[in-house]
Amino acid sequence: MLQSLRAVARVFQKYIGWNRIGVLLSLAIIGVAVKVLVHMLQHIDFAAVVVAMKATPLHNVFAAAAFVVGGYFTLTFYDWFALRTIGRGAVPYRVAALAGFTSYSVGHNIGATVFTGGAVRYRIYSHYGLDAVEVAKICFVAGLTFWLGNVTVLGLGITIHPAAAGAIDQLGELPNRLIGLGLLAILASYLAWVWTAPREVGRGGWTVRLPSGPSTLLQICIGILDLGCCALAMYMLLPSEPNIGFITIAVIFVTATLLGFASHAPGGLGVFDAAMLVALWQFEKESLLAGLLLFRVLYYLTPFAFALAILGAREIWLNLRGTREKIEFAPVTKVATPILIPADCDKSDGDRK
């Protein structure tokens, strides 16, 4: 059976290609999202959206901002954990924090996080002796942390509250609960697989040793904290009425985030928003849109501005330091000093007599 699946996969890769399928899937998600947004925003009163934004309690905005800070702080441990997984634990936390914060801030806003975030990471880590392969391994382990957190949150959330996922996938409670249990079964199988023996993926120089069982539990906790902070930030910016439970909001938020991630659109723009508007139909559209806009300002635009400022300041500092080192350690060019010889020294003793 496994050999048959591999044969089908090889034929598929040869004649169609997974990359083309990925591009078509992204375009399909974006196309559906645009259509949904156009339909849902036709009768939106944008003046009412502005009023709703101004009416959002300040303590809710500050609480959401605090959760955003907590989320990005947790993101720094993605890189810290990945560095230790690939055997680069000597790289200090401050460097991991810089790479984690800036790479995710840039990747979230520009899109194609694997490439944009990877480029930012390489620029930072290359100054500490890491090569492109090691940076790729860091991206892989950090991505694994992200997906383990998502599978855990969705598995638990859909199992506990299957109706939450039904707002997006339009399935009943039983199918959704089975999906949740299936996700938890996959997670448990992976945990058992890495717990029983050391595991590696990849070939040659691209081999990555996967975290052990206990380390994977830590990895899952990091992912849950990240997603929990993000979902709480969104929860604080939603209207107070009607009162919808946090688990429901968390499941919808994570699902909408994954759809935005799959689209590769910058910040999941349009896709994330369409999914939230469809799933949270109970809210007044203007008030919900106000919360989504505030979330984008806090979670996307503000960190992006800080990341660009930090990266720009770092580049200026590196250039200045490089210029200073060139001046200080430049080789000294010896200049021949002319020796003045009196004219009569050229004469012999006999001539001077």
Note the pLDDT tens digit of each residue in 312-338: 998 888 888 766 544 544 444 444 444
Span 260-276, pLDDT tens digits? 777 666 666 777 888 88
Residue 35: pLDDT band (50, 70, 90) is low
**pLDDT over threshold 80, residue 250:** yes
**pLDDT at res. 146:** 92
**pLDDT over threshold 60, residue 234:** yes
| More confident position, 36 or 277 | 277
Find where tokens 């509250």 sit.
161
Which of 83-92, 111-120, 203-212, 239-248 is least confident?
111-120
**pLDDT over threshold 50, residue 86:** yes
Cβ-based burial of 109 (10 A; exposed 0-12, middle 13-18, buried ≥19) = buried
Q: Average pLDDT, whole number, for the chain?
A: 80
Maximum mean pLDDT: which of 23-27, 151-155, 285-289: 151-155
**pLDDT at res. 271:** 78
CA 194 to each of CA 117, 146, 180, 200, 212: distance values in angstroms, whole numbers, following the listed order: 27, 17, 22, 9, 5
State the average pLDDT over residues 202-221. Answer: 88
**pLDDT over threshold 50, residue 289:** yes
Measured between alpha carbons, how far is 30 from 28 in angstroms, rounded to an integer?
5
| More confident position, 163 or 140 | 140
**pLDDT at res. 4:** 57
Residue 187: pLDDT band (50, 70, 90) is very high
State the average pLDDT over residues 7-28. Answer: 55
**pLDDT at res. 332:** 42
HEC sequence for the chain: CHHHHHHHHHHHHHHCCHHHHHHHHHHHHHHHHHHHHHHHCCCCCHHHHHHHHHHCCHHHHHHHHHHHHHHHHHHHHHHHHHHHHCCCCCCCHHHHHHHHHHHHHHHHHHCCHHHHHHHHHHHHHHHHCCCHHHHHHHHHHHHHHHHHHHHHHHHHHHHHCHHHHHHHHCCCHHHHHHHHHHHHHHHHHHHHHHHHCCCEECCHHHCEECCCHHHHHHHHHHHHHHHHHHHHHHHHHCCCCCCCCHHHHHHHHHHHHHHHHHHCCHHHCCHHHHHHHHHCCCCCHHHHHHHHHHHHHHHHHHHHHHHHHHHHHHHHHHHHHHHHHHHHCCCCCCCCCCCCCCHHHHCCHHHHC
**pLDDT over threshold 90, residue 42:** no
| More confident position, 326 or 80 | 80
Span 144-177, pLDDT tens digits? 999 999 999 999 999 988 888 887 777 888 999 9
